[in-house]
Amino acid sequence: MPHLRCGATVRVALAVALTALTALTASCSILPATASAQPVRALSGTGPITFATGKVDTGYLGPLVAQWNSQHPRQRVTPIYLPDDADDQHAQLVANLQAKSPVYDVMSLDVIWTAEFADNGWITPLSRAKFPLASFLPPAVATATYGGRLYAVPFTSNAGLLYYRKDILAAAGRKPPVTWAQLASDARTLGPRYHIGGYGGQFQNYEGLTVNFAEAVQSAGGSLLSRSGRVTVDSRQAREALDFLVSGFRQGWIPRASLGWDEEASRRAFEAGKLLFLRNWPYVYLDASKRGPGNKVAGKFGVTTLPGLHGPGSSTLGGENLAISAYSQHQLTALRFIQFLTSKTVERQILLSSALPPVWTQLYASRALIRRFPFLPVLRQAILSAKPRPDLVNYTQFSLAISSTVHQALALQIPADTALAQLAEQLRHIVRTG
């Protein structure tokens, strides 16, 4: 499941192809009033189905599929595991759906794909009455809608968190940072003292970098787009955000190696005791808590919300939605399987086994779950204050432009002001032609 899921390396060929596609097509729009998919209708067709999902963090899936299959022998589910990174997952799903293939029935989609898939008529609109949406986290429900209709069902939610070495901070008499200045000060002074890196994130040239940059901009009070859809990455707040990250690389408290890190690489670095601070998703908590020969932080780390320019920062809203392919021949079974996976009992089970954030609001107040996962109240706060990525049909092109340009700035290849000026021009073209 994407922790966003933010994919892996963006390949040059893909970037070129997507850029060309952006220039040649005019079928995309920002926040359209209506979608091109058909109206909500009663679903039909029962029988065996497939479930297309990324393989990372799906250890919970085998037992659940076995449970379903034992209870529904004529409607068995077969998982189809997509590539690990979200960019490749997206490409494989799109290729399949453009061919109108019935191979995928239920699909696990990154929350940012809802608009694109709905606008292209690739996923089936759903009846709100079939799901307990009022019991779900409101931000998660919003990511599953498009043009006023429900096109997917929230499955997991997500928000970026700050992991920190509580043993090191306690020894220095310091509290978890609330501002960038505090984080930078701790990273500069405590990191060298313990011969570890100060701060790590997902700074590889892919969707994860777009998320990290967006969080920095939001945490400085800015945005990538205004509510009216105007590009705002050349604002003062965006410059402060990029300067903060660039200064970390220039001064050395952000390891240069992190220019090649995705979620998993940065997690491994933190668990190996190589970082004081790490920005990552909630799934890291369970992994980092498991004692073992390669884990040097079990019992020694804490979790808090992201810091910001002048106070607590803002995360990017992540998570997964479940959707039904418009070309599925067994859509009623697909609907029932989604109802099963998004039930409160199953969502609790997934949280316990994989630490993936549920969409059921009640689970965040469970005393038993909080004893197991003390960070749940912090996570709930982070999700409710998180901001979604732009609701663009051509979001993929938008994100590619951001990650490519910001990566050059972090690698100290181009000045920050030049990067933002170039990026603003690229994004205006993408939004305008989209």
Q: Going residue by residue through the chain (434 aa), what tens digit of pLDDT does each one get?
A: 444 444 333 333 333 333 333 333 333 334 444 444 446 888 999 999 999 999 877 889 999 999 999 999 999 999 999 988 878 899 999 999 999 999 999 999 999 999 999 999 999 999 999 999 999 999 999 999 999 999 999 999 999 999 999 999 999 999 999 999 999 999 999 999 999 999 999 999 999 999 999 999 999 999 999 999 999 999 999 999 999 999 999 999 999 999 999 999 999 999 999 999 999 999 999 999 999 999 999 999 999 999 999 999 999 999 999 999 999 999 999 999 999 999 999 999 999 998 899 999 999 999 999 999 999 999 999 999 999 999 899 999 999 999 999 999 999 999 999 999 999 999 999 999 87
Q: Which fold has domain 161-314+394-433?
A: D-Maltodextrin-Binding Protein; domain 2 (3.40.190)
DSSP 8-class letter at 414? S
Which residues does residue 162 pair with via DSSP β-bridges, in sequence order?
279, 304
Contact predicate 366/347, CB 8 Å: no
- Report pLDDT for 40: 81
- In this predicted structure, what is the pLDDT of residue 258? 98
The three-class DSSP label of residue 296 is coil
Structure tokens at 417: 């002001």
Burial of 395 (0-12, 13-18, 19+ CB in 10 A): buried
CA atoms of 20 and 34, how far apart (whole Å): 26
Going by C-alpha positions, the residue among 157, 267, 246 that lies closest to residue 202 is: 267
So where are the chain's domains?
31-159+319-383, 161-314+394-433
- Give the integer Cα–Cα distance in Å for 173 and 315: 27
- Sheet of 275-280: strands edge to edge? 197-200, 275-280, 161-165, 301-304
pLDDT at 39: 62
In this structure, which amino acid lies at residue 10? Answer: V
Tell me if 31-159+319-383 shares its fold with 161-314+394-433: yes
d(CA 276, CA 196) in angstroms, rounded, equals 7
Measured CA to CA, the distance from residue 34 to residue 36 in angstroms comes to 7
- CATH class assigned to 31-159+319-383: alpha beta
Closest CA to 306 of 423, 408, 385, 197: 385
Nearest to 87 by CA among 196, 169, 209, 239: 209
